[in-house]
Each structure stands twice: as C-alpha cells, then as structure tokens.
Amino acid sequence: MEFQRREEREPLSGINVTPLVDVMLVLLIVFMVTASLGQQGITVRLPKAQASPLKVAEDTVVVSIDAHLNTYINSARVDPSQLKARLEAIYRARSDKTAFLKSDKAVSYGDFIRIVALMKSAGVEQLGMMTEEPQASSP
C-alpha cells in the first residue's frame, strides 16, 4: 500500500452550495415579510384581474384616481397640476423609485395614461397597477 504525501493529492475543486441556498431562502423570507401592504384610505372601484395580491412596504407611494378624477398620493389629496412636482420631491431623495397606481374603473383610458406618463416623467422607475381579485361566481 502506497502512501501519498498531502502535496501530491488533487485538491477538491467543488463548491458547497448548501450555505448559498440557505442564505437565499432567508433573503426570500425577509423580502416577503418586508413587502407587506398597509391598505391606503382612498376608496376607488378597482378593475378586476386574475392575479395574485401584491405585498407592498408601508413607505411605498400609492397614487389613486377616483371616479371624479381627484388625485391622491397615499391618502393626501393632490391637485393634478401639482402631482408631478410632489412626486419629484418625494423621489428626489429616495433610491427606491417604485410607485403603485390605483384607478377607479370609471376613469377613461386617456386620463389613466396621462397620469401614468406624468408619474414616469416625475421619476418613477417601476410602476405597479393595483386591481381587485374577481369574486368567484357561484354555479
């Protein structure tokens, strides 16, 4: 039986991915927990869509448009002519430039797109659309 010295053995070249998977799962759980949404106080009739509910952090900006085209940032009413300036002021000091848009289903497509374009020009980089989950119809 021959004995090899330690220098003559081939080194192990594999990477143990178990700690990496553990860290990724912990990060996934942390992001899921911190992304919870506190419901904002503006009442709008949201359109129905087949999608899973979004979880949003409490400091997330939610722009709402009601059926009378009143515009709100979170729960504070904002004059539509001041919306861009207010959003620019909010996003000037923030690194996360994400916002959500809640629009009443009675709002016309043209008015909706005008607000989307205004939000994008104010510095919003990621825009989420909020909807309601449709009611299950009974047989």
What pLDDT is recorded for position 92? 84
Is residue 10 included in any domain, yes or no? no
Boundaries of domain holding 59: 38-129
Q: Look up the CATH number of the domain holding residue 71.
A: 3.30.420.270
Is residue 6 included in any domain, yes or no? no
What pLDDT is recorded for position 28? 85
Is residue 26 included in any domain, yes or no? no
This prediction's pTM: 0.54
Is residue 25 included in any domain, yes or no? no
Is residue 19 included in any domain, yes or no? no
pLDDT band at 11 (very low <50, low <70, confident <90, very high): low
Cβ-contact 98, 125 below 8 angstroms: yes
Query: Who wins on pLDDT, 36 or 13?
Result: 13
Q: Which residue from 39, 126, 132, 116 is spatially nearest to 71, judged by alpha carbons?
A: 116
What average pLDDT score do residues 85-107 get? Answer: 86
For tokens 């722009």, the residue is: 63
Q: Which tokens sit at 32?
A: 């899921």
What average pLDDT score do residues 31-35 get? Answer: 68
Does the structure show a pLDDT above 70 at 66?
A: yes
- Of 8-12, 34-38, 46-50, the range with the highest mean pLDDT is 8-12
Is residue 110 included in any domain, yes or no? yes
**Number of domains observed in the structure of the chain:** 1
Q: Which range has the worst mean pLDDT, 10-19, 54-63, 125-134?
A: 54-63
Q: What is the largest CA-CA distance in the chain?
A: 90
Q: Which tokens sit at 8?
A: 């003559």
Is residue 12 included in any domain, yes or no? no
Cα dihedral 60, 65, 70, 74 in deg (nearest 10): -10
Cβ-contact 64, 42 below 8 angstroms: yes
Is residue 54 included in any domain, yes or no? yes
